Amino acid sequence: MREWRTDLPDVVWRGLGRLRVAAGLGVAAAGAAIGLGHKVPPATAALLVLFAAGFAAVSILGLRCRKRRFEVLSMAWALAMNTTLALASGGPDSPLLFVFLVPVFTHGFRWGPSGAYVSAAANTAALLGLAGYGLAAGDPPGALLPAALVCCVMWVGARTVSLVVSALGAQRDELRVMSQVDPLTGVFNRRSLFDAAAALAARGGSFAVVLVDLDGFKAVNDTRGHLFGDEVLKRAARAMRDGVRCGDLVARYGGDEFAVGMIKPQARELIGRAV
């Protein structure tokens, strides 16, 4: 199974994962402490320790193996842990209801906008369950206000995370294009050509590179100006791009020099993410 990539820089992605591990271990220790102190029923304390330890374990696995399934498992364990923690500290009017906000941000940044909304929906369902539990236990409707406030903040947070992550993704895509494409002509740059050639050579793909030089281009610049020369380069690049086969590469090698990478159809899929 391929690694799961997100828009978040790797150092931040792993930092959030380590924060999860620390949070899980901390909640497990707290659950053990309150259980030994007989502040909550032993069964509730045992469940809290179990869910917190499971959350920490899944978070550790997520650090070692970057797969989406570990993110889904982490969300499920976090939901169970936070719900049990809320029950152990007062139910729907618990002072720790804010912990339901944390997964929305961590899953949103690590998983993307969909992760933020899925986490918000799951945690909202848990809060509604806590509210129903409180009403059944005889709590007045006003006691449900903290849970309602947390739900509102949660969805605002999910929307905020979605906007931030989308902006980061758009910026990343723009930077990738800038690093691979010649800004004047719109064809690939020399770096992209070298990356594609290296990828093909490493995997045994067959290809050929033809260098194209525009004769007399310096005279065009000297007599007609550089703006006219830029238009000549654009039209030359467009003509080469329109004239090659689908899957071949056209790159500006430098100045008035271009390169055409002619790739055998069987080898084109070997380029992968090189360009």
Same domain flag for 124 and 220: no
In a domain, 36, yes or no: yes
Contact 207, 251 (CB under 8 A): no
| Distances, alpha carbon 236 to alpha carbons 50, 144, 180, 245, in Å | 67, 69, 19, 16
Contact 161, 105 (CB under 8 A): yes
Domain final residue, candidates 149, 175, 201: 175
In a domain, 1, yes or no: no
Domain final residue, candidates 119, 142, 175: 175
Q: What is the pLDDT of residues 162-195, one digit of tens each?
A: 898 888 878 887 887 788 898 899 899 988 888 8
Q: Is the pLDDT of residue 87 over 90?
A: no
Contact 108, 158 (CB under 8 A): yes
Same domain flag for 143 and 194: no
Report residue 126 as tokens: 């848990």
CA 73 to chain centre: 17
pLDDT classification of 1: cutoffs 50, 70, 90: very low
Report residue 149 as tokens: 């406030």
The reported pLDDT for the residue numbered 8 is 65
Place of tokens 């758009």: 170
Domain final residue, candidates 121, 144, 175: 175
Same domain flag for 170 and 238: no
Q: Which residues are CB-neighbours of 132 under 8 A, at least 6 positions away? A: none
Specify the long-range contacts of residues 27-30, CB closer than 8 Å, at least 24 apart.
Answer: 27/52, 27/55, 27/81, 27/85, 28/52, 28/53, 28/56
Higher-confidence residue of 204 and 48: namely: 48
Q: Is the pLDDT of residue 4 over 70?
A: no
| Distances, alpha carbon 12 to alpha carbons 67, 92, 158, 270, in Å | 16, 33, 18, 30
Same domain flag for 145 and 201: no
SS3 label, residue 220 = helix
Report the CATH number at residue 244: 3.30.70.270
In a domain, 243, yes or no: yes
How deeply is 250 buried, as exposed, middle or buried, from its count of CB atoms within 10 A (0-12, 13-18, 19+)?
Answer: buried
Same domain flag for 223 and 163: no
Contact 258, 250 (CB under 8 A): yes
Q: How many H-runs (helices) and E-runs (strands) does the chain carry? A: 9, 4
Same domain flag for 171 and 193: no
How far apart CA 250 and CA 215 sit, in angstroms, is: 18
Q: Which domain holds residue 84?
A: 10-175
The reported pLDDT for the residue numbered 6 is 60
Same domain flag for 169 and 192: no
Q: Is the pLDDT of residue 154 over 70?
A: yes
Higher-confidence residue of 42 and 231: namely: 231
Same domain flag for 110 and 225: no
Same domain flag for 170 and 193: no
Supply the DSSP string of 112-173, one letter for each residue. -HHHHHHHHHHHHHHHHHHHHHHHHTT--GGGGHHHHHHHHHHHHHHHHHHHHHHHHHHHHH
Range in 126-130, 131-135, 192-196, 270-274 with the lowest mean pLDDT: 270-274
Same domain flag for 261 and 128: no
Q: Please give the tally of structural domains in the chain.
A: 2
Same domain flag for 124 and 225: no
Considering 32-46, 60-74, 155-169, 192-206, the range whose residues carry the highest mean pLDDT is 155-169
Same domain flag for 162 and 78: yes
**Within 13 A of 183's CA, how many CA atoms are on the CB side?**
5
